[in-house]
Structure 1
Amino acid sequence: MGDPMRRLERRIRRRMDARAAAQRVLRSLPAILQIVVAAVGAYSVAHYVLGHEVPLVAVTVVISALGLARDARPRRVLETVVGILVGIIVAALLVTVLGRGVWQIAVILALALLVARAVSPSAGFAIAAAVQSMLVAVLPAPPGGVFERALDGVVGAVIALLVTALIPRLDVLATKGESRALFSLLDQSITGLAGALRTGDAAAADLALARSRRTQPLIDGWTESLDSARAVATYSPWLRGGRARLAAEAEQLAAADLVTRHVRSIARRIDVLVRDGVERPGLGALLDETAVIVRALGRSVEDRAERDRARILGLALAGVLTPEAVPGAVSVPDQVVVVLLRGLVFDVLVVSGLEPHEARQALPPI
């Protein structure tokens, strides 16, 4: 019995590994295409236009600057490029003065790292400078002298920046996936909390709490992707049409961040509350209505009418968010859940178009 189960487990693990590998490849295709185009361009300019026989530095600068990370912001690319050029120039100057050898390599590497750390607090900046300084210090000087590599570095830097703006990665605007994943997880968490309250099910509350805790990596990933997309869209003439949508999505991200914080707080409270096994259908109904509002908020970028719907639903829910209006909410812990929901609804009303004083007026006094 054990052997068939182990074989089945191994097959499932292989399939999951293969699926994850395929997803990594698909996600990396835009970056790979961009890097290949930029590397070929840098090599062509340095080799055929400038006549450099082996423009190794031009190619390595492009690959190092662009990288495979989704953070393709021009500022990040520029920072990497500057670090690389610092390493090349420092090494070229020192090779000219000190010559080549073991102790010279130590001096060049140490000074390249020291200068890079003085110029920028980024550790990546210093490493980029150090790697390129070693290429200059270790490899034989090209026919044009060590400063030929500095010129190659400039070529690679210019090409990397041009490609970032003119041939942006096709995934820089593909931020909808993060949005959908986050709001789907929020929906699962809120509806799970509603079910736990209705039935007094502690296991369901535990699951909903675990789901709410998985939202932060999605928020962080969405933030990084959106920041990168907006930075590239600022410089790229081809992405001007996407700027308005990205601005709207930034507003949605801010709203999602607020809602996520509230949901995590509510989930922690409910996880403790339902351990007494008491059924609380009144509070469960409030969470069901909250889930509908959050779903509308999640669709608001693709359909602006959903933003108005979220506001209308929020106003309706706000009117009953007092402990007296919720059947069965007689204990202090029950009332705390109602108070936490008031904070969530207040923020939804503000991000969906109401002024803060209008949102406060919509909530009955307690």
Structure 2
Amino acid sequence: MTDSQPLTQAVPVTWRGRFSPRPGLERLRESWLPVAQIVVAATGAYLIGVHVFGHATPMIAITVAISSLGLARDARPKRVVETVIGMLTGILVAEALRLVFDTGWWQLAVTLAATLLVARFLSPSPGFAIAAAIQSTIAMLLPLTGIPFSRLLDGVIGGTLAVLVTALLPRNPQAHALRDARAYFAGFDAAAARMVSALRRGDRLRAERGLEKARALESVGATWRESLETGRSVARVSPFLRGRRAELDRQALILDQMDLATRSLRVVGRRVVYLTDDRQALPVAADLLADIAAAASLVGATLDDPSRCPEARDAVLAIARRLDPAELLPGAPLGHQALLSALRPMVVDLLIATGMAPADARAAIPRI
């Protein structure tokens, strides 16, 4: 981390950049397993509907399987089950009303209204109601079958296949989470780097940019949390992913502590903005924050290589033992010492992220 980083940088844009195939290839690489899940579930639902139950066109079974899985990153079994229940609700309402009112434009309107009202009563999720409405529309418009509620059976087949595929052909629970974790740590480092540069130069503008970057980490952290929760949910139900549960739990601990550390970084950022207003350099605070950012990068490296946990813990401990504002800045103004004090909770959070017990992490910081 250097203090010569420009505030802005020109990015050349060429026709290759505008029409690069890389984003598409990246989407293909990430989507092959969800595509395989959908193909297996939909094909299986069709074969069961045709060859086991004798349904000529089990379209409902196929659409339920496809819609409940989808290509979204949130592939938690709970979400899949909720989507399936929503679609089955729509099919049930449509089949019941069709027996009473037959089919037509006003019957479609009544069915849609009834389905949406029932779905909203059953679940607060808007997606639940929309899934129910779509399936009720399909069930209302398809030709009649000789057996009442046969489409509901198709929906159960498709939904069951979707849930089974989620557990037996699971998506990689760590790939997205690790990628989002790397993005989070890169953002943390970038925010801290701006603040370090601001402290070394006494530059308020750089401090404000650093604070903006720290605030922007909230959305990055939310994405990481969603990916991690999806991975942990899949690992809980899949017999093939039991060995990854402990690692996913460890990653969840790191996420929680980094979220707290980032909140502390925002507090530090606000103090840096205030203190750099007089254009005075603060090299001691800059060096400490640079060391903390480097230690945070080591914590991030443990996600890929857990064996580096002792190295990361030792690096954070070395910083913790120095965090006595009175010794580092004897006789300094209260505002300068308050800035160093604001670094202390961040160091405690990083220590806990390395696996240290919270009480031991707090005890590692000198008392003031």
**TM-score, with length taken from structure 2:** 0.90
Q: Which residue of structure 1 lines up, in the alignment, with residue 111 of structure 2?
A: 108
**CA distance 1:59–1:341, shift in 2 (3 Å):** same
SS at match of 1:238: coil
Q: Which residue of structure 2 lines up, in the alignment, with residue 71 of structure 1?
A: 74
Preserved contact between residue 198 and residue 206 of structure 2 (Cα < 8 Å): yes
**CA distance 1:80–1:340, shift in 2 (3 Å):** same
> Matched residues, percent identical?
42
Q: Which residue of structure 2 lines up, in the alignment, with residue 182 of structure 1?
A: 184
**CA distance 1:176–1:329, shift in 2 (3 Å):** farther
| Match of residue 258, structure 2, among 256, 266, 272 | 256
The separation in 1 between residues aligned to 2:174 and 2:85, in whole angstroms, is 23
Q: Which residue of structure 2 lines up, in the alignment, with residue 38 of structure 1?
A: 41
Preserved contact between residue 221 and residue 259 of structure 2 (Cα < 8 Å): yes
Q: Which residue of structure 2 lines up, in the alignment, with residue 212 of structure 1?
A: 214
SS at match of 1:237: coil
The letter for the 2-side match of 1:122 is S
Offset at residue 156 of structure 1 (A): 0.4
The letter for the 1-side match of 2:136 is S
Q: Which residue of structure 1 lines up, in the alignment, with residue 243 of structure 2?
A: 241
Which sits farther off after the overlay, 46-55 or 157-166? 46-55
Q: Which residue of structure 1 lines up, in the alignment, with residue 318 of structure 2?
A: 316
Preserved contact between residue 42 and residue 62 of structure 2 (Cα < 8 Å): yes
Q: Which residue of structure 2 lines up, in the alignment, with residue 145 of structure 1?
A: 147
The separation in 1 between residues aligned to 2:195 and 2:330, in whole angstroms, is 17
Preserved contact between residue 84 and residue 129 of structure 1 (Cα < 8 Å): yes
Preserved contact between residue 71 and residue 224 of structure 1 (Cα < 8 Å): yes
Preserved contact between residue 73 and residue 229 of structure 1 (Cα < 8 Å): yes
Which sits farther off after the overlay, 208-217 or 337-346? 208-217
The letter for the 2-side match of 1:185 is G
The separation in 1 between residues aligned to 2:305 and 2:205, in whole angstroms, is 36
| Match of residue 229, structure 1, among 222, 228, 231 | 231
The separation in 2 between residues aligned to 1:286 and 1:279, in whole angstroms, is 14
The separation in 2 between residues aligned to 1:64 and 1:273, in whole angstroms, is 54
Offset at residue 257 of structure 1 (A): 1.1
The letter for the 2-side match of 1:60 is T
Q: Which residue of structure 2 lines up, in the alignment, with residue 15 of structure 1?
A: 19
Offset at residue 281 of structure 1 (A): 1.0
The separation in 2 between residues aligned to 1:96 and 1:76, in whole angstroms, is 31
Once the two structures are superposed, the pairs formed by residues 292-331 of structure 1 within 5 Å of their partners are: 292-327=294-329, 330-331=332-333
SS at match of 2:19: helix
Offset at residue 170 of structure 1 (A): 3.4
Structure 1, unaligned stretches of length 5 or more?
Answer: 1-7
Preserved contact between residue 38 and residue 69 of structure 2 (Cα < 8 Å): yes
Say whether residues 1:365 and 2:349 are aligned partners. no
Q: Which residue of structure 2 lines up, in the alignment, with residue 167 of structure 1?
A: 169
**CA distance 1:127–1:172, shift in 2 (3 Å):** farther
Preserved contact between residue 200 and residue 278 of structure 1 (Cα < 8 Å): yes
The separation in 2 between residues aligned to 1:289 and 1:254, in whole angstroms, is 21
Q: Which residue of structure 1 lines up, in the alignment, with residue 288 of structure 2?
A: 286
Say whether residues 1:131 and 2:134 are aligned partners. yes
Aligned residues: 357
The separation in 1 between residues aligned to 2:315 and 2:348, in whole angstroms, is 12
Q: Which residue of structure 1 lines up, in the alignment, with residue 338 of structure 2?
A: 336
Q: Which residue of structure 2 lines up, in the alignment, with residue 4 of structure 1?
A: none
The separation in 2 between residues aligned to 1:262 and 1:198, in whole angstroms, is 20
The separation in 2 between residues aligned to 1:10 and 1:288, in whole angstroms, is 36
The separation in 1 between residues aligned to 2:365 and 2:342, in whole angstroms, is 12
Offset at residue 355 of structure 1 (A): 4.2
Root-mean-square deviation (Å): 2.2
Which sits farther off after the overlay, 279-288 or 264-273? 264-273
Offset at residue 222 of structure 1 (A): 1.0
Offset at residue 172 of structure 1 (A): 5.4
Preserved contact between residue 173 and residue 242 of structure 1 (Cα < 8 Å): no
SS at match of 1:175: helix
Q: Deviations over 1:258-311 (max 9, x none)?
A: 111111221222123223211111111111221122122112233344333333
The separation in 2 between residues aligned to 1:329 and 1:346, in whole angstroms, is 25
Preserved contact between residue 329 and residue 337 of structure 2 (Cα < 8 Å): no
**CA distance 1:45–1:329, shift in 2 (3 Å):** farther
SS at match of 1:186: helix
Preserved contact between residue 198 and residue 280 of structure 1 (Cα < 8 Å): yes
**CA distance 1:361–1:230, shift in 2 (3 Å):** closer
The separation in 2 between residues aligned to 1:347 and 1:171, in whole angstroms, is 25
Q: Which residue of structure 1 lines up, in the alignment, with residue 350 of structure 2?
A: 348
Which sits farther off after the overlay, 203-212 or 39-48? 203-212
Which sits farther off after the overlay, 323-332 or 192-201? 323-332
Structure 2, unaligned stretches of length 5 or more?
Answer: 1-11
